[in-house]
Structure 1
Amino acid sequence: MNSQTQGPPGTMNLRNQVLIWIGFFVFLILALWIFRGILLPFVVGAALAYLLNPLVTQLQKWRFNRGWATAVVLLCVIAIISGIFVMIVPMVATQIVGLVQRLPGYAVDLEAMVRKWAPELNQWLGPERAAQVERTVSDMLGQVVGFAGVVTSEILASGMTLISVIGFAIFTPVVAFYLLLDWDSMVRGLHDLLPRKQRPEILGILRDIDSSMAGVIRGQGGVLVIDAVFYAGALSLVGLNYGLAVGLIAGLLSFIPYVGFGVGFALSMGIATVQFWPNWWMVALVFAIFMGWQFVEGNVLYPKLVGGSININPVWLMFALLAFGALFGFVGLLLAVPLAAIGGVLVRYGIRKYKGSSLYLGSTHGGQGGNPSA
């Protein structure tokens, strides 16, 4: 048999591997599309189980059985989430509603300030450039107002009903509990189902996927939470109107490269300018909060918590968010980053296999360096 297509024993040829993974992704996307209306508690429950499994495993090492360890960890998490919900969510919701309602007013105030500064702008930039700056600011503010209206309508249109909220709150911990309870047996079952000859190769891919997923869910999730807490706390401490809401928005959007920072920075600077001017040092303080934390995040938090485990191009990540969000709604947004991470692992694996194949190396390097024919 030709070694160019078969390769050494224990490895799959490139064509079969590509077909298998393409088929897997087609099946996965089709399943997501069919069941997209009921997936939310299962997706969140699975992510919660994946996130909490190391804690459950640690409790097992301390002589807890799997059932008790799962129950203890989940009850602690539910208690923490419930406490946060009771103490913070009503205040955050009030601020977000107020922010959305006040945004058009902030836009009008900023536009008025720009007109007030028109003589100085004419003197600094010249009449033509000053007029161009004024038009640009006016257009941007109009877009902000329009965006706020769209966001409000989308939230109202896609908001969860009381029944769906109750269902989500009940089913999500149940899904997480049973996944955590059977986690080890599911992993062993998956291991036993793998083809024996290709098992080492597939396990290597799965380890890379696990590392990437850990970077997404645990590492990126940790950065997201820390960002949200810092921005919300810092902006509230300086007395920025709706600082808690703006900070949480900036932090929670930070999983999209540059979007969380950009949205939070634009909102904060606009509000600070209207609220604090002519106390320019307060505006500068808000500016320093974002710039300083961006430096800390990029040089301390991200390398420590995430490192190079995700290794996703920001353009590919934004495309995945837009595409999956358009196809599957909110569930698609939740799945976009993990699936992009998995896709990145598989693409890198495919590139490695391609570079080791006879198609790339040429017929004289067929298979793994053996003769072109057997």
Structure 2
Amino acid sequence: MTLRNQVLIWIGLLILLVLVLWLFRGILLPFVVGAALAYLLNPLVNQLQQWRFNRAWATTVVLLGVIAVVLSIFFMFVPLIGQQIIGLIRRLPTYVGDLQALFARWSPEINEWLGPERAQQVQSSINDLAGQALGFIATIPGELVNIGITGATMIGVTVLTPVVAFYLLLDWESMIHGIDSLLPKQHKGEIKTILKDIDKSMAGVIRGQGGVLLIDAAFYATALSLVGLNFGLVVGLMAGLLSFVPFVGFVFGFGLSVGIALVQFWPNWWMVVLVAGIFLFWQFVEGNILYPKLVGSAISINPVWMMFALLALGAVFGFVGLLLAVPMAAIASVLVRYAVRKYKESALYLGRNGSDGAIG
């Protein structure tokens, strides 16, 4: 088979995959979450197998343990989180008004520091930003419905996800052997190398980066609650979980926390500095300790490409697209690097005679 035909076949399969995802996007959520959960838990099941558990018992023990932990967290924290979310949404207009009043009180000092014209521009920008933020918050319930996060959807995910994860974990080894047996023998070694790179990248995304997000959320929620920030629990959780979008979690959490701190603690500047310091300190820890240890170099995706993938797949596939965006971006980055490497080894790059610098 010629290279041209191989490329056309792979492009056709990719188009078919995208079409299938688009057609069934409304029912894919529990299957996507279940597959991610199975991929995440497979090393634990393998470890139990090494301790003389059979595959079925190992899968059952691991899943029951995860379900027990999730239910415990749900019953302990979800009611409090729900109350704080509702309270935060109700109080945000008041916070915005109080912030605007504070800036108005500081206007003489701001005018003296920036000049009247620039100070007016800053005030207008703050008012516009506040209006946009309130407008965005007002549209959140409708947007959640549009992307498929409804009560019925969440019930379906809750019921189906453990079932999907169980059967995928149970048949994981046979699925891997089945895929391996279907690989074309002539290119089997090269394809398996690519699949290993994809597995490494996916592990970095789902296990490494997922672990970083959970640690971020736990730290921010705990630290902000301990310093006494209003709605610190929910603000910290949102800041941590939004960290999968580059810079968004930090900017969102820092801006919202400092804004609430200004209203709540003014004129105690030390408390405002403390709240800001929590985010600055943890950004240093995350960038220099957590990511190198938990993620390493497994994910080498440009932040711009990551944000594009989130927006594009989210617009096409809804919430399922948001879940698939980061893993798909990781897979695409592996394939692009492979394609670039093959191109640099080809006669097209090296020259007609296949030697560097040859000009046929």
TM-score > 0.5, shorter chain as reference:
yes
Residue equivalent to 1:278? 267
Q: Is the 8 A contact 1:216 1:337 kept in 2?
A: yes
Task: Give 1:19 deviation, angstroms.
Answer: 3.0
**1:170 alignment partner in structure 2:** 159
Q: Which has the higher contact order (CA 8 A, sep 6+)?
A: 1
The residue that corresponds to 2:303 in the other structure is: 314
What's the secondary structure of 2:13's corresponding residue? Answer: helix
- 1:303 match: 292
Q: Which stretch shows the higher mean deviation, 342-351 or 149-158?
A: 149-158
- Opposite residue 324 of structure 1, the aligned amino acid is L
Does structure 1 conserve the Cα–Cα contact (< 8 Å) formed by 2:148 and 2:319?
no
The answer to whether the Cα contact below 8 Å between 2:144 and 2:150 also exists between their aligned partners in 1 is no
TM-score, reference length from structure 2: 0.96
Give distance in 2, aligned partners of 1:97 and 1:81.
22
Structure 1 residue runs without a partner (length 5+): 1-5, 7-11
Q: Gaps spanning 5+ residues in structure 2: where?
A: none
1:364 corresponds to 2:323: no
Identify the residue that residue 102 of structure 1 maps to in structure 2.
91
* TM-aligned CA distance change 1:72 to 1:231, over 3 Å: same
- TM-score w.r.t. structure 1 length? 0.92
Establish whether residue 244 from structure 1 lines up as the match of residue 233 from structure 2. Answer: yes
Give SS of 1:365's match.
Answer: coil
Shift of 1:107: 1.0
Structure 2 Cα separation of the partners of residues 132 and 318 of structure 1: 29
Supply the distance in 1 between the matched residues of 2:114 and 2:235 (Cα, whole angstroms). 32
Query: For the structure 1 residues 156 and 362, does the alpha-carbon distance in structure 2 shift closer, same or farther, using more than 3 Å as the test?
Result: closer
Q: How many aligned residue pairs are there?
A: 358
- What is the aligned-residue RMSD (CA, Å)? 1.8
- Between stretches 239-248 and 152-161, larger displacement belongs to 152-161
Residues 326 and 339 (structure 1 numbering): CA distance in 2 closer, same or farther, change over 3 Å? same
* 1:178 aligned partner, one-letter code: Y
Match of 2:321 among 329, 332, 336: 332
Distance (Å, rounded) in 2 between the aligned partners of 1:253 and 1:292: 18
Distance in 2, Cα, partners of 1:270 & 1:17: 56
Assess if the C-alpha contact under 8 Å between 1:121 and 1:130 holds in 2.
Answer: yes
Give identity over the alignment, percent.
66
Question: How far apart in 2 are the matches of 1:33 and 1:82?
Answer: 32
Is 313-322 or 165-174 further displaced after alignment? 165-174
Q: Write the mapping of 1:113-128 to structure 2, written as runs, cut at 5 A.
A: 113-128=102-117
In the TM superposition, residue 152 of structure 1 has moved relative to its aligned partner by: 3.5
Deviations 1:324-350 (A, max 9, x none): 111111111000000011111111111
CA contact (8 A) 2:257 2:275 kept: yes
Change beyond 3 A, Cα 1:80–1:202: same
Distance 2:203 2:35 in 1: 13
Q: Deviations over 1:158-205 (max 9, x none)?
A: 665544333221211010000000000000000000010010011011
Match of 2:177 among 188, 199, 207: 188
Task: Specify the code of the residue in structure 1 equivalent to 2:140.
Answer: V
Partner of 2:25: 36
Q: Which residue pairs with 1:70 in the alignment?
A: 59
